[in-house]
Amino acid sequence: MAKQHLNITLIQTDIVWEDKTTNLKHYEALIGAISETKHVVVLPEMFSTGFSMAPERLAEPMDGPTVRWMADMAIKHRCILTGSLIISDEGKYHNRMLWVQPDGRIGFYDKRHLFAFAGEDKHYTAGDTRQIVSVNGWRINLQVCYDLRFPVWARNKGTEYDVLLYVANWPQQRSMAWKTLLQARAIENMSYVVGVNRVGSDPKGNIYSGDSSVFGPLGETIWQHNNSAATHTITLDREVLDQARDNFPFLNDADPFILP
């Protein structure tokens, strides 16, 4: 049975380009400063490097130093730590979102939709399987950035999940799409939606306004922050989710889709 409340901490911050050591030290300080009860702490997409197309230089195996750092942080702070990084696995490079638990177990989701506009498809291998994880009885669907533009991939089959979680490096010039699509995913899937994005800029000329957001199951804005760094813990309420689904059983009328 799911617990009544789930705390999710969103970390919206700048990322120093391709500097893992500096970035991990920064996150370590931010995580250590969280005063609220930590259930899930969320870092952005490619949190240790920025959105780099140089996996040949930056990729790590699943037993590499960044994964070990995530495991150490999860154990130290008794929380789940998640975010995506560049992983090398069986000769292929992945934009992989890890779900690192304090008991040492690690789940992962490989980004399905690679951003061809930036050449991501030339450097990385796409995933082909959705990953729905669980914490305290809450089911969370892991997604990465560009996946947001493809609603069938996120479709909630019945009440398969309760939270749709996106991590991103989504540039400011398309922030309207980011905010609009996050809200749309909440409405159409009758679920909480959490989107964690970065701020700052990168050497490719991209500026990031953050706009990390939390939407409720009817599309209501719970929290949103732009243009500056922020570490914010939001408490999701099971009763709000259950009442929305009971009062408005829209998912019962959805078209069937077959997803891997």
For 55-93, write each residue's pLDDT tens digit: 999 999 999 999 999 999 999 999 999 999 999 999 999
Average pLDDT, the chain: 97
Strand runs labelled E in 105-148 = 106-110, 132-135, 138-144
Whether the predicted pLDDT of 1 surpasses 80: no
188 catalytic? Reply is: no
pLDDT of res. 2? 77
The CATH homologous superfamily for domain 5-253 is: Carbon-nitrogen hydrolase (3.60.110.10)
111 catalytic? Reply is: yes
- The phi, psi pair for 190, rounded to 5°, reads 50, 50
Percentage with pLDDT > 70 across the chain: 99
pLDDT of res. 256? 82
Amino acid symbol at 54? A
Distance CA 25, CA 22 (A): 5
Active-site residue identified among 38, 60, 79, 145: 145
255: confidence class by pLDDT, cuts 50, 70, 90: confident
Tokens standing for 4?
A: 């009544």
Active-site residue identified among 60, 111, 120, 179: 111
176: confidence class by pLDDT, cuts 50, 70, 90: very high
Distance CA 183, CA 243 (A): 19
132: confidence class by pLDDT, cuts 50, 70, 90: very high
145 catalytic? Reply is: yes
Percentage with pLDDT > 90 across the chain: 95
260: confidence class by pLDDT, cuts 50, 70, 90: low
How much is the pTM? 0.97
Cα–Cα–Cα angle for 142, 147, 150, nearest 5°?
Answer: 120
Active-site residue identified among 18, 20, 38, 45: 45
pLDDT of res. 169? 98
Distance CA 165, CA 141 (A): 6
